[in-house]
């Protein structure tokens, strides 16, 4: 509807310009928004105020002229269009239009909100865990954001490739291998029960040992050189322990319901980067400096990025440059999105600028997010060994659900849903202190609260099936008279349903997936408010009952689809 109103206003403006002999002006961006209160309509625009200086007239006068032009159109979708001080144009949807939304949702079901297929292919890279380190609470936020983006962009009509870039090389790997050789030589590694936890502890043990004992630095460096030079035993140890990490990652992804279409490997991109060095040295911003190879981006206010240290070791930039090129060339994508924490914002600006200097002008975006910690915990560090493992957090949240809802059969769906919803209800720019107790509450802005609204609707619909004559063959509703849906709570609820397709389109462009959680909470709130005010099953009024059942089924569909976009299950029973 927002796009439709924008087109109507643009048309009305062009006709008003000709009819009123206004000075010529460039068409401004026409912003159509939701008013702060429903009393001011369902949509509003301030375009008249933006045009005031350009046209040289009072905003109210311009708004009245636009509105007068709009009245010449046959706009049955609006009950009325009004002008309000100091120059807003407010649009009120007609009840007929809103009632048709209910029918549309019940017809399209989970396809409601889908956009027409676009000629666009998007690659979303997310998760990016390092092998030989534990998958922790921070990784979870990355996975939840990335997975929600994949689903949203797909629903908006684009083809999407979900990619994971695994950190399977680098200093942290060498430290872990050195730690195993140094402190666990002779142990039967195959008998270790929690292998991922073991690797995390060894990495922390090795990092702290090197930090506290300078004499270990040379030992570690020797092992690192031997590994990089292809020492057979170390390569075999790396391959064995890398599989331990990958197996653990896969278990977590399966539990979270997340999958990937393609995996990239840091070890492979490092080789590609080294092969690319000769080409890179011909790029204007890349040069040798004190034995190292750097990208001098000072003239772009982006500082200097070291690509290769003077000892010849490759840093992240040398790997991300060939990876960016590979994404577009091998997958024929139009847009690349990388989900990485906000600390890397400058780094990605540097990488994108280097690619521009190479003549590689593509649509590349970095979606950043802030830190996440467990309430009351200190700042995490793999080196210090005080990280909060993802598996621990998942298990503890599910455990709390079982304590809170001892009779539920869907504790895992509720627990994982509570975890995802809690992290995704915050803007990516906000730091999160995850509160397990708060996340599983049934009252408040939580996943279980929204899931309960969905389960409650399912229960009402199931109950209706048992009422003789109310539901038709196979439990389907018969003829529905949606014109009966005129109660203010019904109308308000339908207006919220109407916003869903526009929300999908917006998030597919601005990547602010927290908007889905906020929408789900508001929709659940409006459903509960409607349910408290309106009797759904009234055996004395079959027509109204069927109409209201049709309405709550539409709410069920949209709630489930909203939750699905952020990876949260919508249980039929709690």
What mean pLDDT comes out for the span 281-301?
96
Q: Rounded distance, CA 403 to CA 362, Å?
A: 51
| Residue 113, domain member (yes or no) | no
Structural domain contains residue 158: yes
The pLDDT of residue 476: 57
Residues 452 and 520 in one domain: yes
Q: Are 349 and 399 in the same domain? A: no
Is the predicted pLDDT of residue 435 greater than 50, yes or no? yes
| Residues 336, 398 within the same domain | no
Would you state the pLDDT for residue 425?
A: 98
Q: How confident is the model at residue 466 (pLDDT cuts 50, 70, 90)?
A: confident
Contact 310, 290 (CB under 8 A): yes
Residues 353 and 438 in one domain: no
Confidence of residue 475 (pLDDT cuts 50, 70, 90): very low
Report DSSP state, residue 176. Answer: H
> Does a structural domain hold residue 195?
yes
Tell me the sheet residues that pair with 477: 471
Indicate whether 179 belongs to any domain: yes
User: What is the side-by-side order of every strand in the sheet holding 121-125?
Assistant: 262-265, 159-166, 121-125, 335-339, 363-367
Residues in the chain: 574
Same domain (yes/no): 506, 447: yes
* pLDDT higher than threshold 70 for residue 472: no
Regarding whether 343 and 240 lie in a shared domain, the answer is yes
β-pairing, 88-93 vs 159-166, is: unpaired
Q: Is the distance from CB of 391 to CB of 136 less than 8 angstroms?
A: no
Provide the domain limits for residue 48: 2-93
Which CATH number do you get for residue 280?
Answer: 3.40.50.620
Global pTM value: 0.93
The tokens describing 87, both together, are 């120059």
Which pLDDT belongs to residue 119? 97
Query: How far apart (Å, rounded) are the C-alpha atoms in residues 180 and 201?
Result: 10
Asked whether residue 79 falls in the same domain as residue 157, the answer is: no
- Give the single-character DSSP code of 258: -
| Upper half-sphere CA count for residue 432 (Cβ side, 13 Å) | 28
> Residues 270, 408: one domain?
no
Residue 386 pLDDT exceeds 70? no
**Radius of gyration for the chain, computed over Cα atoms and rounded to the nearest angstrom:** 29
Query: Where do we find the tokens 């070291």?
Result: 306
Co-location of 338 and 204 in the same domain: yes
156 in the same domain as 45: no
- Looking at the structure, do residues 341 and 426 belong to the same domain, yes or no? no
What percent of the chain is modeled with pLDDT above 90? Answer: 85
- Structural domain includes residue 378: no
Instruction: Convert the pLDDT of each residue in 196-246 to its tens digit.
Output: 999 989 999 999 999 999 899 999 999 999 998 899 999 999 999 999 999
Q: What pLDDT was estimated at residue 468?
A: 58
Q: What is the average per-residue pLDDT within 431-459?
A: 96
User: Smallest Cα–Cα separation from 266: which of 199, 326, 323, 343?
Assistant: 323
* CATH code of the domain in which 82 resides: 3.30.1360.70
- DSSP SS3 for 446: coil
Cα separations (Å) of 127 from 140, 167, 192, 237, 249?
8, 10, 26, 24, 10
Domain containing 556 — which CATH number? 1.10.730.10
Region 147-171: what's the mean pLDDT?
97
Give the residue ranges of DSSP H helices in 405-432: 411-424
* Residue for token pair 């590979």: 326
In a domain, residue 157? The reply is: yes
Q: Is pLDDT above 90 for 22? A: no
Q: Which two tokens stand for residue 522?
A: 């508001």
Is 372 inside any structural domain? no
pLDDT tens digit sequence for 522-548: 999 999 999 999 999 998 899 999 999
DSSP H helices in 71-160: 95-108, 137-155
Is the predicted pLDDT of residue 469 greater than 60, yes or no? Answer: no
What is residue 218's three-state secondary structure?
helix
Q: What is the mean pLDDT of residues 303-319?
A: 94
Q: Do the Cβ atoms of 298 and 289 come closer than 8 Å?
A: no
Q: What's the pLDDT at 26?
A: 86
- Answer yes or no: is pLDDT of 377 > 70: no
SS3 264: strand
Is 383 domain-assigned? no
Of 300, 333, 367, which residue constitutes the final position of a domain?
A: 367
The closest alpha carbon to 169, from 223, 217, 228, belongs to 228
Q: Do residue 161 and residue 247 come from a single domain?
A: yes
Q: How many domains does the chain have?
A: 3
Higher-confidence residue of 475 and 301: namely: 301
């Amino acid at each position: 509807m927002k796009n439709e109103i924008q087109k109507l206003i643009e048309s009305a403006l062009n006709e008003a310009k000709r009819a009123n002999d206004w000075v010529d002006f460039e068409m401004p961006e026409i912003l159509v928004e939701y008013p702060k209160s429903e009393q001011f309509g369902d949509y509003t625009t301030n375009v008249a105020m933006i045009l005031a200086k350009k046209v040289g007239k009072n905003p109210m006068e311009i708004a009245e002229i636009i509105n007068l032009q709009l009245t010449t159109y046959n706009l049955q979708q609006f009950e009325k269009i009004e002008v309000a001080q100091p120059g807003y144009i407010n649009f009120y949807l007609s009840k007929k239009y809103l009632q048709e939304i209910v029918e549309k949702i019940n017809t399209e079901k989970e396809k409601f909100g889908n956009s027409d297929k676009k000629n666009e292919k998007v690659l979303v890279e997310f998760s990016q865990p390092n092998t030989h380190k534990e998958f922790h609470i921070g990784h979870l936020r990355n996975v939840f954001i990335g997975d929600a983006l994949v689903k949203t962009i797909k629903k908006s009509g684009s083809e999407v490739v979900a990619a994971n870039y695994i950190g399977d090389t680098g200093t942290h790997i060498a430290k872990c291998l050195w730690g195993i050789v140094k402190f666990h030589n002779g142990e039967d590694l195959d008998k270790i029960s929690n292998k991922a936890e073991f690797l995390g502890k060894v990495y922390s043990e090795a990092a702290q040992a090197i930090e506290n004992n300078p004499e270990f630095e040379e030992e570690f460096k020797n092992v690192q050189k031997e590994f990089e030079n292809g020492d057979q035993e170390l390569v075999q140890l790396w391959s064995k322990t890398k599989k331990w990490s990958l197996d653990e990652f896969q278990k977590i992804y399966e539990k979270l319901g997340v999958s990937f279409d393609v995996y990239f490997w840091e070890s492979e991109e490092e080789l590609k980067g080294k092969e690319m060095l000769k080409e890179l040295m011909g790029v204007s911003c890349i040069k040798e400096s004190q034995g190292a190879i750097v990208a001098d981006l000072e003239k772009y206010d982006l500082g200097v990025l070291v690509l290769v240290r003077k000892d010849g070791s490759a840093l992240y930039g040398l790997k991300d440059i060939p990876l960016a090129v590979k994404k577009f060339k091998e997958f024929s994508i139009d847009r690349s999105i990388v989900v990485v924490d906000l600390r890397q914002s400058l780094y990605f600006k540097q990488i994108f600028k280097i690619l521009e200097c190479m003549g590689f002008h593509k649509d590349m975006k970095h979606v950043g997010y802030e830190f996440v910690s467990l309430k009351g915990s200190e700042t995490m560090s793999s080196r210090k060994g005080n990280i909060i493992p993802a598996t621990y957090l998942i298990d503890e949240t599910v455990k709390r659900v079982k304590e809170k809802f001892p009779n539920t059969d869907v504790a895992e769906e509720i627990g994982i849903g509570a975890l995802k919803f809690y992290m995704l209800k915050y803007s990516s720019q906000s730091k999160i202190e995850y509160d397990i107790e708060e996340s599983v509450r049934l009252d408040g802005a939580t996943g279980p609260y929204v899931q309960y609204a969905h389960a409650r609707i399912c229960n009402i619909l199931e109950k209706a099936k048992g009422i003789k004559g109310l539901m038709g063959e196979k439990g389907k509703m018969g003829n529905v008279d949606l014109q009966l849906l005129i109660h203010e709570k019904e109308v308000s609820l339908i207006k919220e349903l109407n916003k869903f397709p526009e929300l999908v389109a917006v998030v597919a462009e601005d990547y602010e997936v927290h908007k889905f959680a906020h929408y789900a909470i508001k929709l659940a709130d409006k459903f509960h408010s409607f349910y408290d005010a309106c009797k759904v099953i009234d055996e004395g009024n079959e027509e109204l009952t069927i109409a209201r059942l049709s309405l709550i089924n539409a709410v069920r569909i949209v709630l489930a689809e909203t939750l699905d976009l952020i990876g949260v299950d919508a249980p039929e029973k709690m």
